[in-house]
Amino acid sequence: MRVKLIKKSISASGGENIRIDKFLANQILNMTRTQIKKLFLNGFVQVNESFAKPGSILKGDEIITFSVPETDQNLDQIESEDISLNILYEDESIIAINKPSGLVVHPGAGHKQGTLVNGLIYHFQQLSDINGPIRSGIVHRLDKDTSGVILIAKSNVVHRSLAYQFEKRTIKKEYFGITWGKWKDSKGVMSGSIHRKRTDPTSYEINNNGREAITEYNVLKTGEYLSEVLFSPKTGRTHQIRVHSAENKNPIFGDKKYGGGKNKAKGYIPEVSKKFTDAILNFDRHALHAKKITFIHPNTDDELSIDAPIPKDILKLQKQLKIINE
């Protein structure tokens, strides 16, 4: 009896510089590495309509097409969960969510449940599925510990329109961050290309072989040890603001991955170091918040801006740091 195959297509967005077999392992949650390897051996995986090898490195802008047996077609089905969502805006086409720190955007390795997508499919009947069930409605993403506004598409038509605006860099994004140190200039542009680290695939670095990344910044307030900064990324690379700030010797406060964690608190007088260390441990994330997003509404062609208020944990941190930083 011949087994019927089900063909699926997903975007490689977020998979730049990753082997395609590893990328698929994170996308098809309940399929083993051995099963995924068989997909390649049987010629069931294509990238931009060309047969792919498991070790091929993705650029992040490809379309991956793969076929699975009909009996396995539920391998990427996502469980709905009653997760509380802070809705900033909603109409018949778009949802804007104020994502809290600690919430992963979509399922992947180590995060099969408890993500924003699990909550979205519980609360909303209609979501875009261009990138498969694992990324239902997701047009762009925020890091797990970055809070703030994120757009959700209810249909594929709306998804394509928003994705096009991101691609053409016409969507305006503003992030509020607390960084270490005084900035050399009160405003400027950081433009180092960003590449995934070979020694640590969960981290990124400035590298000429990477993808172009541009971040504008405007220093709002500077103290003795820290600064409050408004960032406006013009590109959407993973960890972009965090990598650029670290490269500029002004890492995001609390960002242990890029030099802004408790080790940064060392080197000051003991009293100051202790206060900073306590603040970092109590805060337990990096101080970065997606504050505002401005785009053209796909249905009305009107410009729409959505603001996400600064969360309580950052407001509390500001008060705590003000005593140290003045």
Domain residue ranges of the chain, discontinuous segments joined by +: 5-75, 87-167, 172-325
Please give the pLDDT value at position 277.
93
What is the residue whose two structure tokens read 């019927």?
A: 4
Q: Residues with Cβ < 8 Å from 223, sequence gap 6 or more?
A: 321, 322, 325, 326
Residue 221 to residues 114, 177, 280, 322, Cα–Cα distance (Å): 36, 11, 20, 11
The pLDDT of residue 180: 96
Domain 87-167 identical in fold to domain 172-325: yes
Residue 54 CB neighbour total at 10 angstroms: 16
**pLDDT score for 165:** 95
Instruction: Report which of 63, 70, 76, 184 is spatially closest to residue 130, judged by C-alpha positions.
Output: 63
Residues 100, 109 contacting (CB under 8 angstroms): no
Structurally, at CATH architecture level, domain 87-167 sits in 2-Layer Sandwich (3.30)
Specify the pLDDT at position 317: 94
Ranges of the chain with pLDDT below 50: 1-2, 71-75
- Nearest 5 degrees, angle CA 240-CA 241-CA 247? 90
- Residue 189 to residues 171, 184, 265: CA-CA distances in angstroms? 17, 12, 27
Question: Domain spanning 5-75 has what CATH number?
Answer: 3.10.290.10
pLDDT score recorded for residue 76: 55
**pLDDT at position 72, please?**
45
Catalytic residue positions? Answer: 143
Q: What pLDDT is stored for residue 17 in this prediction?
A: 84
- The structure tokens listed for 7 are 């063909």
CATH superfamily for 172-325 is Pseudouridine synthase (3.30.2350.10)
d(CA 316, CA 180): 17
Neighbours of 34 (CB within 10 A): 7
Which residue stretches of 84-205 are H helix? 116-123, 156-167
